[in-house]
Every structure is written in C-alpha cells, then in structure tokens.
Amino acid sequence: MSLSVPDPLVTAAWLADHLAAPDVRVVDATWFLPTLGRDARAEYRAGHIPGAVFFDIDEIADRSVDLPHMLPPSERFAAQVGALGLGNGHQIVVYDGNDFAASARVWWMFRAFGHDDVVVLDGGLGQWRREGRPVEDLPPPPRNRVFVPRVNRVLVRDFDHVLANVASGHEQLVDVRPAARFRGEAPEPRPCPIAGHVPGALNLPASEVLDPVHRTLLPAETLRERVAAAGIDLARPIVVSCGSGVTACIVALALFRLGVTAAIYDGSWAEWSQRPGAPVTR
C-alpha cells in the first residue's frame, strides 16, 4: 500500500490518522549542536511519538573522515536503517524536536539513497505536543528490515564540484548560515580555521524559511518571496550549503515544496574552511 503525499511535509493530524498503518514508519531525528549541551537520545527516551525509532546522524555517517555526520557509504546506511526496521516499501515520516534539525537532513539522506517515500512532520515534536497528542517513553520492539539503496548522485555535491563551480558559475550556491557567519563576522559553532563564504555564494539563512512562532515551514508563496529576495533564480540549478550539511537540508526541503530539487554540498563550511587553497570571500 502506498501512502505517498504530494507535499514533502505532513501535518500532525495526518500522522495521527496514519500512525497505525502497516507500512508507515516514524523516525525521531532530533539533533543538537554540541555547544547547546543537550542530549537528543536522552530526550527521545524521555518522550517520543508512539512507535518512533531514533536516528542518530552522527552514528549513521561516514566514520572514516574527520568531518561531522557526512553521508555514509551506501552499504553502511542500508545496514543501519535496516536494523532500525526501516525498509523499502515503507512510508517514512521523520520529525525532530529542534526546528527541522535534523529531520530535513534525514529526509535528504533517504532520498540520496533512492527512497522517495519519505516526508517530514511539519512543526516536529513541538507541534505534535501542542496539539495534545500522545508520546511514549519506550522504544518500539526491534525488527530488522531489508533496505536496498539506489544512490542518487544528483542530490550530492563534493568539494571538487563546488570548487569547479566557483569558476564556472553553472550552479547557484546558496549558503544558509546566519548572515553574520556568512560574512565572516561571527564565529562558527565548531572550530574553523577561516571565516567567510565560498565566492559567489548567495545567503538565505535557514531561519528565514520557518514561521517564527509555530516553527513550521512557511507557506509556498512566502517562501517564493524569501527566495527571490535572496537573489535565487528557481529556474537555475541550486546547491545548498551550511556549516556542516544539516541546516542546508532545511532550505532544500523548502525549495522542494516549491517544486525545485536542490543538491547539498555535504562537507559545507566544515570542509571548505579546512581545505588549503580554497578561495574565501569575507
């Protein structure tokens, strides 16, 4: 049975209505920057949407590189999500407790491995709780499923690609860090040897695509206005970056709501700032 939906997001009401469907799987992808001093896994244990499994982007990652939560090899991803009970044929609903970080990242990860039946709960756990919906503190019983990955290279960009694009300008690079970090006037939350941004990049802070009160994604028309104000042309290819590849996915999710599929520079500023000779604009 397919429960595919036309929007990349679903409401709490939709999820409540489909929570017992046999092919629906719910994923808690809550993640916090280390500087916040919060334990996402502990918060999951304290209370989560019934049936949700915990997806740790720092664990389901490429552990062979000295960069945070990089996209893992396909076989590692398949084994780890299969162990969580997530397989082909499932409609996966991802949420978090921190303004789409990292539910949008996990949404992108599944699509990067060829699984398009994945959506994000708009407003996350906060919206679920505000509507008075139930939570539980027990993890679901373990159940292994088979996940067969089909890597979608269209959704991923690496350092060499972005470096070549500085000269060619074929793709628009959209940096979603706060404006002060983009300009090199504020420090990064993790150590970086240089500050600034990739030459030619545009700036659309991820916070600009969220409702400031309800922390839901803005309506499509408002998103179009924010995108246009940032100088982004929706008719041209777009690559999104940020500090370490997490909040970039929030803007990619917003662009997908507008019918645009954007790629993610997975290493983002955490990688760019460490590469000798990488050009920087301040």
**Phi and psi dihedrals of 78, rounded to 5?**
-60, -45
Residue 66 structure tokens: 């000295």
d(CA 112, CA 65): 19
Tens of pLDDT, residues 46-102: 999 999 999 999 999 999 999 999 999 999 999 999 999 999 999 999 999 999 999
Name all domains of the chain by residue range, CATH numbers in brackets.
9-151 (3.40.250.10), 154-272 (3.40.250.10)
Cite the active site residues: 242
For residue 92, what are the β-bridge partners?
Answer: 25, 118
Amino acid at 135: V
Q: How much is the pTM?
A: 0.96
Q: What is the pLDDT of residues 217-243, one digit of tens each?
A: 999 999 999 999 999 999 999 999 999
